[in-house]
Chain A
Amino acid sequence: MTAALLGTSAGTTLAAPPLRPEPVTVPAPNDRFDAMLRAIDVVPPDRASFEAAFPDAWARLDAVARDAKRDTWSRVRALSLLSYFVEPRTRATLEQVLADADKDIRRQAIYTLGRGFGASADVALVRFIEARTADPEQDVGEHALRSLRWVDHPEAKLALERIAEKGPATLRELARKTLDKRMLRLNGVPRGD
């Protein structure tokens, strides 16, 4: 893997989001891949194994994630498994499906964006996710908020504190719990308050 695959700062700038669609090259159907996508308690052990089993894994996940004709479960699974590919083309896909009409798709896309790119996130990404906490569907807002648990940038802490204090009443308690979980992840201890 090269540095280009790791969500470098160039890949996390939302001021000029990489919204150019990937070339539409839908891979031919693959029963084995579909079976993996529909397994109920199996995930790839790591990216290397994933790509060894399915060399075109990213293209297949991308195609399913974007395909509004596919069932929601398959698309949600695909969107979550795109987290194995923390790179600009994945961000482009996630940002594009955030406009999807299905709230479960938007919900998973914003979560994968926060969690998958959390280690390399900048202020712009945090603000972008924070804005999504106001999605008209509470489910989507909650999942956007949860994704901030996985964002290392200190702005994520400030965003959670803002929501915990002044955000919608429906999100305040979740924001407090997410703050604790984030602190536990980063420091091994909760906030202590």
Chain B
Amino acid sequence: MQKRKSVLDGGCWAPLVVAAMLVACGDGTTAAVVDVADNAEPDPDGSEPDTSSNPDTVGPETIVAEPAFVQVLLDENASMSFGLSKVFEVEVPTDVVSMTVSVIGDDATFYGLADWTGPGGNALVTKGWVNTDEGQGGLCLSCKNRIALSGGAFATIAPNNPAAEVTAGCHTFSLFGYEPPKVVQGQGRCGDGICHQVDQFQCARDCRSTSATGPVRVLVHAKMAAGGLPATGVLDLNLHFTGAQGLSAASAQTDAGFRATIESVRSSFSQVRLDLSTLTYRDIDSGYRTIESLDGEGSDLQAMFSESDGNPNALNLFFVDELSAAAFGGFGVILGIAGGIPGPPLVQGSSRSGVAIAIKPIAGAPAGIDTTMAHEVGHFLGLFHTSEQAFFGPQVHDPLPDTPDNDASYLMFNTGAGNKLSEWQGRVMRSNPWVRHPAPQ
């Protein structure tokens, strides 16, 4: 991992100094500002998002004319010890509309936040949650800002619901990480220190997770907008082709079916005034056509997502024939997978930097390529399933107030067959640093 010293390292007061310097210099386009409005390229079809029918205030946000930009508040190489990191402090400037915290680490390790507190003791992630049953499940439902642990790299975006207000001032957080046991099929002697499949049931001591150690890269991004989150945004995509279904970077640009898929996704996202903008087409190794493992060191998916290194600053979509998700002692075929909820923003080349979509047609598949693509991009931008179906635990709903429970007509329902997006879902998506807000023409 490359050693990078953050210009903002040094606690909550240092960023104030840097921010003041930027203002004094009259230069808002420093290296710390990674997203500017004037790098927008025209849409391939020349269209602009239609905002003519928007009232001044729509749902939870305020319409503003000026664009937003993203500022890097922290980019630091740190280390984990006994499963925890030091406490990080960042000073969040005024005009913040959203924040993301990302951790890029070892492929075999799961990461998350142990706690996150904003000004006035505002606990966005509750300290101690990792020691509860929720911590065992890797999903903090009781946290004001919901987070899900993730392997290899982790990210969270706040606010991801109305209760999780992000305000200017001093924010502190620390990281949590663990390495799950490597499971070996067959059987061995209990106490041999090897986690065999049967040990899951018969010898838990051989299957303990270990506390994370080693280096991680920690990033904090803040989206800034003087008048609140813009009501529109655009998303750039890097489209990676493995040769699945005969599609290549060249053929996909003229393939009627693929173009229709892109237009369908564009149509879905237009509900929340999010448009697709610059599309970059790229071929990658055909060895990624079938993804047989998703997690852990050397997994197919993580290797494929790492292929995003050096690509334009855009969300990565990988088109494959088939995806198999392995779990403890088994696997299952799936249609799509996102690098996280959300995936790490504005980071290329990490083992979680992308979304993969299976495009091999199978009769009876519950969702089309277009809705699967939109669904997984929704995850990557920070959306949870509107409702889980209590398959393997209690029923869980997303933390948003305007997504009905158990409504399969919603895009983020777990079958992925719906199409609807709510205003709050749109807000979460547009809050993500991957979404740009070009200046009005």
List residues of A whose CB falls within 8 A of some B CB. 1, 3, 6, 32, 35-36, 38-50, 52-53, 70-74, 76-77, 80-81, 83-86, 104, 108, 115-116, 118-120, 143, 146, 149-150, 177, 181, 184-185, 188
Specify the chain B residue showing the minimal Cβ separation from A41: B334
Which stretch, B19-27, B51-59, B140-148, B384-392, touches the partner chain A?
B384-392
Task: Report yes or no: B364 in contact with A45, Cβ–Cβ below 8 A.
Answer: no
Task: Report yes or no: A77 in contact with B415, Cβ–Cβ below 8 A.
Answer: no
- Across the interface, B392 reaches (CB within 8 A) one of A52, A86, A149, A185, namely A52
Task: Report yes or no: B335 in contact with A53, Cβ–Cβ below 8 A.
Answer: no
List residues of B whose CB falls within 8 A of some A CB. 184-187, 197-198, 200-202, 287, 290, 292, 298, 300, 324-325, 327-338, 362-367, 372, 375-376, 379, 388-393, 414-416
Task: Report yes or no: A48 in contact with B330, Cβ–Cβ below 8 A.
Answer: no
- Across the interface, A36 reaches (CB within 8 A) one of B329, B331, B336, B391, namely B391
**Apart from the given pairs A41-B375, A81-B332, 16 other A-B contacts in the complex at a CB distance below 8 Å:** A1-B201, A35-B391, A39-B416, A41-B376, A41-B416, A42-B388, A42-B391, A43-B331, A46-B328, A46-B330, A49-B393, A71-B364, A72-B362, A81-B330, A86-B329, A118-B185
Set of chain B residues within 8 Å of A115, measured between Cβ atoms: 292, 331
Set of chain A residues within 8 Å of B200, measured between Cβ atoms: 46-48
Q: A33 to B298, alpha carbons, bound, how many Å?
A: 32
Q: A143 to B376, alpha carbons, bound, how many Å?
A: 26
Check A45/B327 contact, CB under 8 A, given A40-B367, A40-B375, A71-B364: yes
Q: A181 to B202, alpha carbons, bound, how many Å?
A: 31
Q: A83 to B292, alpha carbons, bound, how many Å?
A: 13
Task: Report yes or no: B364 in contact with A74, Cβ–Cβ below 8 A.
Answer: yes
Instruction: Give B415 Cβ to nearest chain A Cβ, in Å.
Output: 6
Task: Report yes or no: B392 in contact with A45, Cβ–Cβ below 8 A.
Answer: yes
Check A40/B416 contact, CB under 8 A, given A77-B333, A86-B185, A149-B292: yes
Set of chain A residues within 8 Å of B198, measured between Cβ atoms: 1, 3, 6
Q: A145 to B365, alpha carbons, bound, how many Å?
A: 25
Task: Report yes or no: A40 in contact with B415, Cβ–Cβ below 8 A.
Answer: yes
Check A80/B333 contact, CB under 8 A, given A48-B201, A73-B363, A120-B185: yes
Instruction: Give B319 Cβ to nearest chain A Cβ, in Å.
Output: 15
Q: A132 to B184, alpha carbons, bound, how many Å?
A: 26
Set of chain A residues within 8 Å of B327, measured between Cβ atoms: 43-46
Check A47/B335 contact, CB under 8 A, given A35-B389, A39-B414, A149-B292: no
Q: Give 17 CB contacts A-B under 8 Å.
A: A1-B202, A32-B391, A35-B415, A38-B415, A39-B389, A42-B391, A43-B331, A44-B327, A50-B392, A53-B392, A70-B364, A73-B365, A84-B329, A85-B330, A108-B333, A146-B290, A185-B298
Specify the chain A residue showing the minimal Cβ separation from B379: A41
- Name A's interface SS: helix
Q: A108 to B416, alpha carbons, bound, how many Å?
A: 22
Task: Report yes or no: A6 in contact with B187, Cβ–Cβ below 8 A.
Answer: yes
Q: A85 to B332, alpha carbons, bound, how many Å?
A: 12
Check A72/B363 contact, CB under 8 A, given A6-B186, A38-B415, A48-B201: yes
* Central interface residue in B330, B337, B366, B372, by most chain A CB within 10 Å: B330
Check A44/B330 contact, CB under 8 A, given A6-B186, A73-B362, A120-B186: yes
Q: A86 to B329, alpha carbons, bound, how many Å?
A: 9
Instruction: Give A73 Cβ to nearest chain B Cβ, in Å.
Output: 4
Set of chain B residues within 8 Å of A143, measured between Cβ atoms: 290
Set of chain A residues within 8 Å of B324, measured between Cβ atoms: 80
Check A83/B330 contact, CB under 8 A, given A53-B391, A188-B298: yes
Task: Report yes or no: A40 in contact with B330, Cβ–Cβ below 8 A.
Answer: no
Q: A77 to B292, alpha carbons, bound, how many Å?
A: 14
Task: Report yes or no: A119 in contact with B185, Cβ–Cβ below 8 A.
Answer: yes
Set of chain A residues within 8 Å of B298, measured between Cβ atoms: 184-185, 188
Task: Report yes or no: A46 in contact with B334, Cβ–Cβ below 8 A.
Answer: no
Set of chain B residues within 8 Å of A6, measured between Cβ atoms: 185-187, 197-198
A-B pairs, 10 with minimum CB distance: A71-B364, A119-B185, A84-B330, A46-B328, A43-B332, A40-B416, A73-B364, A72-B363, A40-B335, A38-B366
Specify the chain A residue showing the minimal Cβ separation from B406: A35
Check A40/B366 contact, CB under 8 A, given A6-B187, A77-B333, A119-B185: yes
Instruction: Give B299 Cβ to nearest chain A Cβ, in Å.
Output: 10
Q: A42 to B333, alpha carbons, bound, how many Å?
A: 9
Instruction: Give A175 Cβ to nearest chain B Cβ, in Å.
Output: 12
Set of chain A residues within 8 Å of B333, measured between Cβ atoms: 76-77, 80, 108
Check A40/B290 contact, CB under 8 A, given A120-B186, A184-B298: no
Set of chain B residues within 8 Å of A53, measured between Cβ atoms: 390-392
Specify the chain A residue showing the minimal Cβ separation from B326: A43
Set of chain B residues within 8 Å of A119, measured between Cβ atoms: 184-186
Set of chain A residues within 8 Å of B184, measured between Cβ atoms: 119
Task: Report yes or no: A83 in contact with B331, Cβ–Cβ below 8 A.
Answer: yes
Specify the chain B residue showing the minimal Cβ separation from A190: B298
Set of chain B residues within 8 Å of A74, measured between Cβ atoms: 364
* Central interface residue in A38, A48, A146, by most chain B CB within 10 Å: A38
Check A80/B197 contact, CB under 8 A, given A41-B337, A45-B392, A86-B185: no
